A and B are shown apart, each in its own frame.
Chain A
């Protein structure tokens, strides 16, 4: 019988590749009997759903108050301007 520690590791692994069928069966049996592993699995899957969207097109939120600090913005603007000018004079 697998320990909860092993089950937790295998459940995480199942997110990254397909486990052999007999391992999946064993996990299902463990989950049927172990309420704590069920809670843990539920939370792991709920987090995965959030992580897949975080920062991307289907992110339900965004904190638009977070901005580039003014000195960083100016530094980057300057570098881009310099690089663009270099490109322009190189193509003449």
Chain B
């Protein structure tokens, strides 16, 4: 084990991973540093670089959950009301769609191969409101389940589902406006 090589071997990759999950560059750098320091305490031996990479990524994911646990607070009534706006924008007072969402000509999964799309996606995730972003990242990007999230974020299941719904709507609106709607195939 050679910790002094870790930063050169894995620093950039871990930074990219962190950037896609946290609020900004500084938070991502802190998360990477915390990951390496926690790894030092782990003291594991690894045969190859890819298993070292997997191990360090696993530590980063744990540090991400720790970070969320530290920063999260109970979703206040004001927070829930503030995000109501995204639903009001999409639906009229009768609960009907105000307009038909434009069809997307490219598939989001395929779009991950495009650097510009990745930058837009990162921006859209970072632009989510506090609370909504953490819930979205841990549920949608990291795959943790409802029970786990209710515990870590200290919210009821019902509130969590509403928070996730609105975060998904906001993210879709951001991606639609900044990417998918600008990629019309000209006829």
Q: Do A and B bind each other?
A: yes
Interface SS majority for chain B: helix
Asked whether any CB of chain B lies closer than 8 Å to the CB of A66, the reply is yes
- Chain B 1-36 residues near chain A, CB threshold 8 A: 3-4, 6-8, 11-12, 15-17, 19-21, 25, 29, 32-33, 36
Which listed residue (A3, A9, A36, A77) contacts B4, Cβ 8 A? A77
Q: Give the residues in chain A near B70, CB-CB below 8 Å.
A: none
Q: Knowing A49-B108, A51-B141, A76-B11 are in contact, say whether A12-B164 is a contact too (CB < 8 A).
A: yes
Instruction: Select A54's contact among B20, B103, B114, B115, beta carbons within 8 Å.
Output: B20
Residues of B within 8 A of A83 (CB): 3, 37, 40
**Which residue in chain A gives the minimum CB-CB distance to B7?**
A77
Chain A: minimal CB distance from B175 (Å): 7
Which residues of chain B have C-beta atoms less than 8 A from A6's C-beta? 95
On whether the beta carbons of B146 and A16 are closer than 8 Å, the reply is yes
Contact B112 A54 (CB under 8 A): yes
The interface bits of chain B over 58-94 (1 if a CB of A lies within 8 angstroms of the residue's CB, else 0) are 0000000000000000000000000000010011001
CA distance A9 to B167 in the complex (A): 11
Which bucket holds chain A's interface residue count? 35 or more
- Assess whether B40 is in contact with A84, with CB atoms less than 8 Å apart: yes
B173 to chain A, nearest CB (A): 11
Nearest neighbor of A1 in chain B, beta-carbon distance: B95
The residues in A between 71 and 92 inclusive whose CB is less than 8 angstroms from any CB of B are: 72-73, 75-77, 79-81, 83-84, 87
> In the docked arrangement, what's the CA distance between A51 and B131, Å?
18
Q: Is the Cβ of A46 less than 8 Å from the Cβ of B157? A: no
Pairwise interchain contact B172-A43, C-beta atoms closer than 8 A: yes
CA gap between A4 and B90 in the complex, in Å:
10
**Does B16 lie within 8 Å of A63, measured CB to CB?**
yes
What are 6 contact pairs spanning A and B, CB under 8 A?
A: A12-B161, A53-B109, A68-B11, A72-B29, A75-B29, A76-B33
